[in-house]
């Protein structure tokens, strides 16, 4: 499994997922041909093997679930004899929501109400505060914070088309919120007192390098759930929800060890 992780770590996720499905199907077909077991066990074996290969390749848990369910769902969809337009529609919806999952290994994570409240309690009290939600999804954080802090300005950036559209609809009447469509890596963190991120382990080192290079003294980087490898947080906030979420806070300037 470690070997798989090393070999496949740099492959684009869609290519890696397709390769895993192909390998699992080939192995399952070979065993089915040799052992002549019922075809339903071929489907089960392929699904389980694909999930195990995804785990060995270091894919996130939700990718493992996709690999587990892909082949059985594909066969089920074929049995329904759906029109080709339905496949295109489903594919379009998934791409517009999970665009970042394939492009940057950043899936759509939704911040829960308790996390928003915990984040609110740990925001600086100064008037005119500026916060960036780096990967705003459909605006759950921006909606909750802007309602509670009308004195602050909240920016969000999102590049999954459908999530951005839903966020715009949700936040259209909020005067202290600006949600932009674009790439978070092109935003200047120096403009903000707080940068909040709920991304994925795959990009935390890159996020940290950007924060180090741009965030000004007195500002804070807050990450939901995911840590920066090798960089202990200055503060860890226990959210207290069923998921066991934590907020990791790094204050700038960072003191040298």
pLDDT digits (tens, 9 = 90+) for 1-47: 444 444 455 555 666 778 888 899 999 999 888 888 888 888 999 99
Distance, in Å, from the CA atom of 236 to the CA atom of 219, rounded to the nearest integer, reads 16
124 and 50 share one domain: no
CATH value at residue 147: 3.40.50.150
Q: For the chain, what is the domain count?
A: 2
185 and 122 share one domain: yes
Contact 39, 75 (CB under 8 A): no
pTM tops 0.95, yes or no: no
Q: Is residue 138 part of a domain?
A: yes
Nearest to 131 by CA among 14, 222, 10, 21: 222
Boundary residue ending a domain (81, 102, 123):
81
66 and 117 share one domain: no
Boundary residue ending a domain (81, 99, 125):
81
227 and 171 share one domain: yes
Average pLDDT value over all residues in the chain:
83
64 and 149 share one domain: no
Contact 171, 165 (CB under 8 A): no
156 and 67 share one domain: no
70 and 122 share one domain: no
Alpha helices, DSSP H only, in the chain? 2-8, 13-35, 39-56, 61-79, 84-97, 99-104, 113-121, 140-148, 161-171, 204-214
What's the first-to-final CA gap in the chain, in angstroms? 35
Contact 20, 71 (CB under 8 A): no
46 and 132 share one domain: no
Q: What is the pLDDT of residues 191-201, one digit of tens each?
A: 999 999 998 88
Residue 121: give the domain boundaries: 113-251
Distance, in Å, from the CA atom of 187 to the CA atom of 159, rounded to the nearest integer, reads 12
Q: Spell 163-182 as b/e; 16+ CB within 10 A means b.
A: bbebbbebbeebebbebbee
Q: What is the pLDDT of residues 55-74, one digit of tens each?
A: 887 666 767 888 898 888 87
57 and 126 share one domain: no
Decide which of 226 and 87 is more confident: 226
Boundary residue ending a domain (62, 81, 100):
81
CB count within 10 Å of CB 50 equals: 26
């Amino acid at each position: 499994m470690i070997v798989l992780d090393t070999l496949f770590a740099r492959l684009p996720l869609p290519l890696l997922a397709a390769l895993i499905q192909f390998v699992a199907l080939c192995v399952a077909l070979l065993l089915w041909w040799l052992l002549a077991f019922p075809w339903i066990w071929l489907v089960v074996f392929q699904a389980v093997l694909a999930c195990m290969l995804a785990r060995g390749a270091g894919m996130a848990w939700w990718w493992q679930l996709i690999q587990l369910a892909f082949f059985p769902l594909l066969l089920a969809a074929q049995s329904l004899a759906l029109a080709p337009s339905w496949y295109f529609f489903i594919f379009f919806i998934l791409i517009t929501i999970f665009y970042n999952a394939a492009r940057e290994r950043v899936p759509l994570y939704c911040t829960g109400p308790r996390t928003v409240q915990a984040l609110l309690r740990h925001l600086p009290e100064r008037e005119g505060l500026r916060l960036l939600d780096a990967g705003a999804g459909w605006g759950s954080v921006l909606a909750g914070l802007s309602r509670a802090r009308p004195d602050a300005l909240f920016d969000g950036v999102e590049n999954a088309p459908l999530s951005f559209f839903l966020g715009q609809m949700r936040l259209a009447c909020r005067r202290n919120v600006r949600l932009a469509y674009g790439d978070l890596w092109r935003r200047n963190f120096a403009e903000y007192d707080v940068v909040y991120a709920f991304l994925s382990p795959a990009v935390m080192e890159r996020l940290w390098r950007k924060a180090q290079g741009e965030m000004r003294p007195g500002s804070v980087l807050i990450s939901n759930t995911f840590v920066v490898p090798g960089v202990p947080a200055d503060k860890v906030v226990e959210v207290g929800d069923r998921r066991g979420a934590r907020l990791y806070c790094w204050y700038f300037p960072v003191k040298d060890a």
